[in-house]
Amino acid sequence: MALSKSHRVTMNDGNTIPVLGLGTYAPRSVPKSEGEMATKVAIEVGFRHIDGAFLYENEKEVGQAIRAKIADGTVTRKDIFYTGKLWNTYHRPELVRPALEETLKNLQLDYIDLYIIHCPMSFKPGKDMIPFDENQKVISDSVDLRDTWEAMEKCKDAGLVKSIGVSNFNRRQLEMILNKPGLKYKPVCNQVECHPYLNQSKLLEFCKSNDIILVAYSSLGTHREAPWVDQNSPIVLEDPVLGAIAKKHNRTPAQVAIRYQIQRGLVVLAKSFTEKRIKENFQVFDFQLTPEDMKAIDGLNKNLRYLIFKQFQDIPNYPFNDEY
């Protein structure tokens, strides 16, 4: 995966994606204005890839930040790469384009650069992001994701989005799309949890063999938000091996964790709402990890998934039961 001077790589549809992006998800306890501030700071320090989602409920604020940085001349629209996500309640083919149009309206943009199916699990359509029945069980919906994918392809053909991909898909689910009769566009990417404790080596190998880019979320571990994450799980950035490598290179453990993924050929999302850390997280293009460093970090893998969404385990297409 050859890096251009602008830190971009080419996807299977010919479009390019910056290898480092800002994640904009924030727990509900964080004010929406923080997302706007973080996006502005990120663009100022050099980030050109902004990863958002309808689910995050801050698209308006993130859009305001992007448009402010275009208005003040920091960037042009073409400089910015924005990722949006199709939420689980919009998998029915007739709902896909309206969902994307809602995202465009929130952002006040004419198109987005990448639109991905957020998760392979389909929920009952409606105003509730996560619909529950009277027994507090999530209400699923019966949708063939190959039909959802066709509707995504039509959005690309309509010029509403430049590239289309998926997220949280396992190998079996990717194969279902890749083997679909009449497939017009392959997914350009699969965005999944990936960090030194869950290095996704098998899924990475499969994606590379199919010219699909693996995009890493929770690349620095996770925000440890209850109830989604086990509060007793170990913290990646406190790992002594990462710490020792960081000390050797005079870097932070976060910078080492990001650099590790870039050198493996992944696109990496890093999330922070702190100006100092946002700046640090972008300073990963002026040093190189040695083969010994890479091997040592490979050795940290525990197949530890922070985000397992236990509440969804009974939903069809739950993606985390398969080995990869």
Residue numbers in the known binding site for substrate are 118
CB-based contact 274:245 (threshold 8 Å): no
In angstroms, rounded to a whole number, what is the distance separating the alpha carbons of residues 144 and 149? 9
For residue 27, is the peptide bond before it cis, meaning its omega torsion is within 30 degrees of 0? no
Annotated binding site: 118
Point out the catalytic residue in the list 25, 56, 82, 115. 56
Has 56 been annotated as catalytic?
yes
Question: Residue 262's Cα: distance from chain center in Å?
Answer: 14
Question: Residue 113's Cα: distance from chain center in Å?
Answer: 13
In angstroms, rounded to a whole number, what is the distance separating the alpha carbons of residues 83 and 165? 10
In angstroms, rounded to a whole number, what is the distance separating the alpha carbons of residues 102 and 126? 14
Bridge-based pairing of strands 16-18 and 112-117 is unpaired
In angstroms, rounded to a whole number, what is the distance separating the alpha carbons of residues 269 and 159? 25
Element (H, E) at 105: helix 93-107
DSSP annotation string for 249-306: HT--HHHHHHHHHHHHT-EEEE--S-HHHHHHHH--SS----HHHHHHHHTT-----S
Minimal CA–CA distance to 215: which of 81, 310, 56, 88? 81
> Which residues are the active-site residues?
56
